[in-house]
Amino acid sequence: MRVVDVTDPADPLLDDLRDLNKSDKRPDLPGGRGLVIAEGTYVVGRMLLSRFTPHVMLGTDMRLEQLRREATAEGWDADERAGDAVYLRASKDLISEVIGFKSSRDILAAANRPEPLSVESVVDGARTLVVLEGVNDPENLGAIFRNCAALGVDGVLFGAAAGDPMYRRVVRVSMGHVLRLPFAHLSGTPTTWQRSLDDLHEQGFRTIALTPSADTSLARAVDAEKVAFVLGAEGPGLTEHAMRACSVRAAIPMTDGTDSLNVATAAAVAFYERAREG
């Protein structure tokens, strides 16, 4: 890591971290530069441990020391992992001015997007996967990745119409785990991608549609060598196409009707049931 002190908010070194809230300039939005942004020492730490190598970081001196301490406590070296990345050391005020809002985190990092992973590389060796159809709320996407990381899910596959997991809020809500957990996009249109589920079946996966219109209990459904949970967006849920393509339909027993658990919470319960059995 190279530490460079910055005092001029117009310094071009800061350009990749400018105006993070302005939708016409947002580096993480479609049409933007495709940059992936991490905020806070914990999430910046996850980025340093991931395949998303940051080329630039921005933060206070205090946060730099905190990042180094937390890494050491976890058994790795922040300077070594950061390699050639530059750490722009600045005041809180300069950071707020550059990013365009007051952040209590005072440390950020930006990485270019690496090549996407192949579906094969995500599936190979996995015991538990998640397949997402149409989930595009960034809070839900982030929470699903966080829950995957906590509860032992090996990877995430995106069907059609799901949101971009590299969006800044997804990274933040996921606690940076979206940077570390392997994910890939299945090919096909909203009405054809479901055929990819057959590829999973051929590789020994039982695909479990999580839906209130279930034909088996969650506890029974997860009892298989390889399992892929298939989740739809909160509200509409899975398409009929997707449900028909799955091996089984399972429900979480609920007292209060169908829409009572948030999709990421329902996912956590399913992952827990799987880890419980495993």
User: Which residues, numbered 224-263, are part of the site for a copy of itself (CB under 8 A)?
Assistant: 252-256, 259-262
- Residue placing its CB nearer to a copy of itself in the complex, 125 or 253: 253
Q: Is 119 in the site for a copy of itself (CB under 8 A)?
A: no
Tell me if residue 161 falls in helix, strand or coil: coil
Among the residue ranges 58-66, 98-106, 235-243, 268-276, the one whose residues contact a copy of itself (CB under 8 A):
268-276
Instruction: By CB under 8 A, tell whether 136 contacts a copy of itself.
Output: no
Please identify which residue in 169, 182, 269, 277 interacts with a copy of itself, judged by CB under 8 A: 269
Closest CA to 24 of 12, 16, 32: 32
Span of 19-27, 141-149, 201-209, 232-240 interacting with a copy of itself by CB under 8 A = 141-149
Position 152 contacts a copy of itself (CB under 8 A): yes
Q: Coil, helix or strand for 166?
A: coil
Output the smallest distance, CB 260 to a copy of itself, in A. 3
**Smallest distance from a copy of itself to CB 83, Å:** 24
Q: Which of 20, 179, 264, 274 binds a copy of itself (CB under 8 A)?
A: 264
> Length of the chain in residues, anyone?
278
Nearest to 168 by CA among 12, 30, 1, 6: 30
- Which residue, 5 or 259, is less far from a copy of itself as judged by CB? 259
Q: CB-wise, 26 or 146, nearer to a copy of itself?
A: 146
Q: Which one of the spans 49-57, 148-156, 162-170, 242-250 is the region binding a copy of itself (CB under 8 A)?
A: 148-156
Does position 26 interact with a copy of itself (CB under 8 A)? The reply is no
Of the residues 9, 117, 265, 277, which one makes contact with a copy of itself according to CB under 8 A: 265
Alpha-helical (H) ranges within 29-130 are: 41-48, 61-74, 78-82, 92-99, 119-123
Does position 140 bind a copy of itself by CB under 8 A? no
Q: Are strands 128-133 and 183-185 parallel, antiparallel or unpaired?
A: unpaired
Q: Which residues contact 229 (CB under 8 A, 6 or more apart)?
A: 128, 129, 130, 131, 153, 208, 210, 267, 270, 271, 274
- Sole binder of a copy of itself in the list 172, 177, 185, 206 (CB under 8 A): 177
Q: Would you list the DSSP string of 57-82? A: EEE-HHHHHHHHHHHHHHT--HHHHH
Residue 117 makes CB contacts below 8 A (sequence gap 6+) with 182, 183, 184
Q: How far is it, in rounded angstroms, from Cα 168 to Cα 33?
A: 13
Q: Is 75 in the site for a copy of itself (CB under 8 A)?
A: no
CA distance 51 to 115: 10
Which residues make up the interface to a copy of itself (CB under 8 A)?
143, 146-147, 149-152, 175, 177, 219, 252-256, 259-262, 264-265, 268-269, 272-273, 275-276
